[in-house]
Chain A
Amino acid sequence: MLEHDVLVIGAGLAGMRAAIAARASGATTAIISKVHPVRSHSNAAQGGINAALTDRGDDWEEHAYDTVKGSDYLGDQDAIEVMCKAAGQALIDMEHFGVTFNRDDEGKLGTRAFGGMRRARTFFVGDFTGQAMLHVMFEQLIKSGVRRYEEWFVSSLIIEDGQVCGVMALEIRTGQVYAIRAKTVIFCTGGFGRVFEPSTNALICTGDGTALAFNAGAELMDMEMVQYHPTTLAGSGVLISEAARGEGAYLLDKDGNRFMEKYAPNMMELASRDVVSRAEQTEINAGNGVNGCVYLDCRHLGEALIMEKLSQIREIGIDLVGCDMIKDTIPIRPGMHYAMGGIRTNIDGQTNLPGVYAAGECACVSVHGGNRLGANSLLDTIVFGERSGNHAAEAARSVDYVEFNVDQAVRKEEKRIQKLLDRPKNGDRIAAVRLGMGDSMNRNLAVYRNEEGMQETLGDLSELEKRFETVPVENKGKVFNTDLVFALELGFMLDCATPIAMSALDRKDSRGAQARTDYPDRDDENWMKHLVIKKGEVGPELTYAPVSVTKWTPEERKY
């Protein structure tokens, strides 16, 4: 019998941090991931990690204020305080683990400027901070003695009598189905970026945990808050780090004008991401772009700086669009990047389901509110990963494994999967359904939204859900059947898509990442509240929750 006090699902930064913390607290701990841990999407965080270090004259309250303002006053201030207070130690822990952070002249950790913050407090490793941290976290995971299920796909969450008892999982390599018992389960499954097409997200970011938790009765929150990153590459939509602008890059329209002076005269290109993306989209819509893009200009930064601090994004530009940022401008546009919303948790990662936790991008604490600041996501993963791991380990001490009929559960899951495999060929393809969803979401739930468009998408989604019921799985084999995995993932993505569209349609103001052309203003009186969505008898049900305000009363945002 596979059983663990704490089972972490997802092995990105949040997941590994949670598992290491749980193990260190004495819990028997396992981590399960559909890809090898170092393939996780935390890799793609390029720019850095924010922390206010007091020995640098910084103050966590300053960081918290910038985060609250960045969130467009939708972030919960108590949670933001927790994160920003913990940031310094969390960062130093990462350094002690072995992350090769860039240094300043005295050999201390060096910083770079980042969007939406009034001082440089972003610590970094070149332009591959996420990858550097992820690999070091994996080193620590190896050391920790956490059991690893690598390339195992969690297909269901098992809950009996309101208490979590484990998961059903498919070993991708063999096609075998297993039940894994657990006293507590922590979802660290990342974002749902692939619900949109294009997206900066890796192909694995399919909202699995969000959907599993939602289907089991967990509350999701702020699902309408989907960040469009200002600098994603033309074509593939791959990310070009905010670090470029942090180091001083310009955004230019087709005539070479730095249009940000119209939108954020003080912070210019380093205004918060929602502000910059809207500015770009406005310019593009006004015909001041080229082929739906504006330009990122790094040429004045010089070869030496680019090679030291931005070399990986330079390579990406060369590889994917044939532009060398040392001598060329790069065509970029706003692109789907990050989910501020997700599984609703408290500051210890607890959800409304006993024994179920969530941390990282799949969770909504909420520290990002309507708009996440660049370099706050890595911080979120390690702070709330650690807190969830600690709390789950502690909670596991006082509960027993819930009994359930394992053989029956395995047979039931095998049958469900076999049914998928047995679907007859009908001319439809998994990819076609996914693309239909991605296109519709990107058309109507992007930088600018309106009622009509969102209604259209809700209609599209209900039709796509019908098609999904019969979409065939072409590969009938057991060994490394990625086709089967895609079918399961597509189900999860569709489960995420509807709550996103429903929440966005419900919120009748413009705040953070949500900019409605039919409700263009922020309406604090009626809409400074969280949207909570939960599976109901007939469909998702929306309710509201208050925003925690500790110190900072809402003001108009200016950058």
Chain B
Amino acid sequence: MDVTLRVQRFDPEAADPKPFWEDFQVSIEDNGTVLDALIKVREDQDGTLSLRCSCRSSICGSCAMRINGHAALACKTQATGVMEDGVITVEPMGNMPVVKDLVVDFDLFWDKIMEVDPYLKHEGPEPEAEYIASNEAMLHLSGVTSCIMCGACVSDCTVLEVDPSFLGPAALAKAYRFTADPRDGDENGVSKDRLEALTKPSGIWDCTRCMECVTVCPKGVAPMDRIMALRDQAMEAGFRDTNGARHTEAFSESVQHSGWLDELRLVPKSVGMTNLSALIGYAPIAIQALTHGKMPPIIHKKLPDSKNVGKIFDKVEGPKKN
């Protein structure tokens, strides 16, 4: 099978170091991967092409790159599945500086991992034998520990694109791997210190829920789902004094009481009713909305039968706790 690889090249030592595109024609097996094609280029045509790769079986996490614009493992991507008119576009990952060709600088990635204290912290003495834990708990964790730190989620994270300080999907999934571990934290397996730290700015509440990370993760780790679970854990553990937590609560209350969203009250409730400076910041937008006839209804009418919605909340959530 013939493939044209359109590769973004970059040589920092060139006279004019700028990224440029280069096409390579290679012939690979019908079920060959994008990595097979790249290795062929490197071995048979151009030894100056730099990329990281090692295991060829989606376990070492070396060969993540953008294939047709989205982060993926080259060794897990069959060429036939991504060819567009015989062409496959390959670029280095996003949100990380390029070192050379397809090799990116992972320092930022690892710095974020280090920020979440990435090792088990058990309060109290260790048991002599193994910790007793349910298989379900371990299987659940294995869904997260199967993360191979390839960087795909970080590459395509929409928040990191605008804010490099965000902890990001990989580090937050790593954090969840500990907060959800019955062996981490206090005797009940609650990792309060971790959750408190994660509630700070650049942490769990900064995720936009765009699902890019879930989509590109080659191992099914679903980092965003872990971030959502962390939010829930943090609120459960009592860390509710954030716009994010208030937003979730206000949203939930609105639907519970009226069946639909009271947008007008969602904003002040999220930023905090007493947070005057933030509220004043929204005033010009509110006035603009008002003058353009875009203001949500001042009187938020309940839906017909909205009490049935409220009842579902009661039934699913159980009695309200505080």
Contact = CB atoms under 8 A, between A and B. Distances in A.
A316 B61 contact: no
A480 B133 contact: no
Interface stretch (B45-53, B237-245, B272-280): B45-53
Nearest to A198: B56
Given A143-B119, A429-B43, A238 B56 contact: yes
B148 interface: yes
Interface centre among B50, B56, B78, B101 (most CB of A within 10 A): B56
A102 B139 contact: yes
The main secondary structure of chain B at its interface with chain A is loop
B129 interface: yes
Interface string A351-377: 000000000000000000000000000
A235 B61 CA distance: 21
Contacts of A105: 135
Given A98-B183, A236-B56, A474 B47 contact: yes
Q: For the side of the interface on B, what is the size category?
A: 35 or more
Nearest to A126: B142
Contacts of A478: 13
A101 interface: yes
Nearest to A123: B130
B89 interface: no
B99 A173 contact: yes
Nearest to A104: B135
Contacts of B52: 35, 39
B175 to A, nearest CB: 12
Contact of B132 (A39, A106, A125, A308): A106
Given A36-B106, A98-B181, A319 B58 contact: yes
Nearest to A239: B57
Contact of A315 (B58, B101, B126, B145): B58
A251 B321 CA distance: 56
B290 interface: no
A109 B134 CA distance: 10
A104 B149 CA distance: 29
B54 A139 contact: no
A98 B54 contact: no
Contacts of A312: 58-59, 146
Given A98-B119, A110-B135, A126-B142, A235 B29 contact: yes
Interface in B84-118: 99-101, 103, 106, 114, 118
A139 B149 CA distance: 13
Interface in A171-195: 173
Contact of B78 (A39, A315, A319, A475): A319
Contacts of A552: none
Contacts of B103: 480
B34 to A, nearest CB: 11
Given A92-B129, A96-B131, A131 B146 contact: yes
B270 interface: no
Contacts of B306: none
Interface centre among A103, A142, A235, A474 (most CB of B within 10 A): A103
A522 B82 CA distance: 52
B120 interface: yes
Interface centre among A44, A239, A315, A480 (most CB of B within 10 A): A480
A477 B119 contact: no
A473 interface: yes
Contacts of A106: 132
Contacts of B199: none
Nearest to B54: A202
Interface string A119-136: 000000110100110011
A38 B148 contact: yes
A430 B137 CA distance: 48
A107 B44 contact: no
Contact of A480 (B54, B99, B120, B129): B99
Nearest to A477: B13
A126 B141 CA distance: 11
A4 interface: no
B56 A203 contact: yes
A402 interface: no
Contacts of B256: none
B120 A98 contact: yes
Given A235-B31, A322-B31, A483 B48 contact: yes
Interface in B56-74: 56-62
Given A107-B132, A107-B135, A483-B48, A43 B11 contact: no
Contacts of A315: 58, 76
A103 B133 CA distance: 7
Given A320-B33, A479-B99, A96 B57 contact: no
A101 B129 CA distance: 13
Given A97-B120, A98-B183, A142 B114 contact: yes
Contact of B119 (A139, A203, A481): A139
Nearest to A109: B130
B298 interface: no
Interface in B11-37: 11-13, 29, 31, 33, 36
A173 to B, nearest CB: 6
A204 interface: yes
A528 to B, nearest CB: 36
Interface in B133-191: 133-135, 137-139, 141-142, 145-149, 181, 183-184
B135 A44 contact: no
A315 B60 CA distance: 15
Contacts of A102: 135, 138-139, 142
B55 interface: yes
Contacts of B147: 135
Given A312-B59, A319-B58, A38 B119 contact: no
B48 A475 contact: yes
Contacts of B44: 429, 431
B50 A142 contact: no
Nearest to B183: A98
Contacts of B13: 477-479
Contacts of B106: 36
Contacts of B12: 479
A554 B76 CA distance: 45
Contacts of A110: 135
A96 B126 contact: yes
14 contacts: A35-B62, A40-B60, A95-B131, A96-B130, A98-B184, A104-B135, A109-B130, A125-B138, A128-B59, A131-B59, A238-B57, A474-B48, A482-B50, A482-B51
Interface of A: 35-36, 38-41, 43-44, 55, 92, 95-98, 100-110, 125-126, 128, 131-132, 135-136, 139-140, 142-143, 173, 202-204, 235-236, 238-239, 308, 312, 315-316, 319-322, 429-431, 473-475, 477-483, 486
Given A39-B60, A483-B48, 19 more contacts: A35-B60, A43-B60, A95-B131, A97-B119, A102-B138, A103-B135, A105-B135, A107-B135, A110-B135, A126-B142, A132-B142, A202-B56, A203-B54, A236-B56, A319-B78, A429-B43, A431-B43, A473-B47, A474-B48
